[in-house]
Amino acid sequence: MSPLASLSPISLTDLVAESALLTRVDRKYLLTTAQVDAALVDLPAGTRVLEIEGLRRFDYASTYFDTDDRQSYRLAATARRRRWKVRTRSYLDTGTCWLEVKTRGPRGTTVKARQPHPVGMPSTLTADAAGFVERTLRDQGVPRPRDGWDAAPALDTAYRRTTLALADGARATIDTALRWTSPDGTELAPEGVAIVETKGGSTPTSLDRALWSAGHRPVRISKFATGLALLDPTLPAHRWHRLLTTTGPLAA
């Protein structure tokens, strides 16, 4: 039985109230699902799992937007300070959708701004959505591209997510059943792979410490950038070369 089954539940309302974390420090890990289960056994008492109407794993789908020359991807690949990411995220179990803009804040923090997006239109940026993207990026000091923010869908992702409210007040997500799909329909769905992300302050979370004790260390991974790099080998991927070719469950 998965260690998740023994955790007490937390409602979405309580989770948001306790740790909205729109500005945070993220640490990511690429593991097998078996490694995740082993690490969860060592979590302290008080760790809870998000539960909605009896469900503890939820289906997500995201559409990432980028310019024709893949500016968002290339800024991530070269670790630029003013990099950005734009996506719609559909919560398939609850029938909601959000538009999200992610940028980098001081000291490596992630800053996320979001607004509701029309359900059933995840691949379309309405005029209102495009205006929100441009205002958010301008407010975060991201230079405006010469041709503006005329971005189009660049990648679709799908996965199943479990969300933990950690005993130290931080949050963590566990994504499994990953699937990447390019605009031309090419698909990649690795088996037995999990991406774990801790979301807290500068101090490591209880899950970070459990993973470190098991010999796992944070890695540079992004579902957007990693998926594009795997599906389009013409893109520069030096930042993730070791991850994709020599170590871990995604290695060729």
Amino acid present at 41: V
Q: Which numeric CATH code is attached to 18-245?
A: 2.40.320.10
pLDDT at 252 exceeding the cut of 60 = no
Mean per-residue pLDDT, 59-78: 92
Percentage of residues in the chain having pLDDT higher than 70:
91
**DSSP run (H or E) holding 154:** strand 152-165
Residue-wise pLDDT tens digits, 143-163? 776 666 678 999 999 999 999
DSSP state of 172: E
3-state DSSP assignment of residue 85? strand
Average pLDDT over residues 232-240: 83
**Which tens digit of pLDDT belongs to each residue from 169-228?**
889 999 999 999 999 999 999 999 999 999 887 788 999 999 999 999 999 888 999 999
The type of residue at 51 is E
For residue 168, name the pLDDT band (cuts at 50, 70, 90).
confident
The whole-number pLDDT of residue 238 equals 75
The DSSP 8-state label assigned to residue 142 in this structure reads P
Checking if the pLDDT of 240 tops 80, the result is no
**Is the pLDDT confidence value at 120 over 70?**
yes
Handedness of CA 36, 37, 38, 41 (dihedral sign): positive
Spatial CA neighbour of 152 closest among 47, 65, 239, 22: 65
Q: Running DSSP on this structure, what letter comes out for residue 247?
A: S
- The pLDDT of residue 57: 95
What is the per-residue pLDDT for 221?
A: 87
Helix 206-213 / helix 33-40 crossing angle, nearest 10 deg: 110
pLDDT at 39 over 80: yes
Predicted pLDDT of residue 76: 87
- Of residues 252 and 114, more confidently modeled: 114
Query: Structure pTM?
Result: 0.87
Q: For the chain, what are the domain ranges?
A: 18-245
Q: What is the pLDDT of residue 136?
A: 92
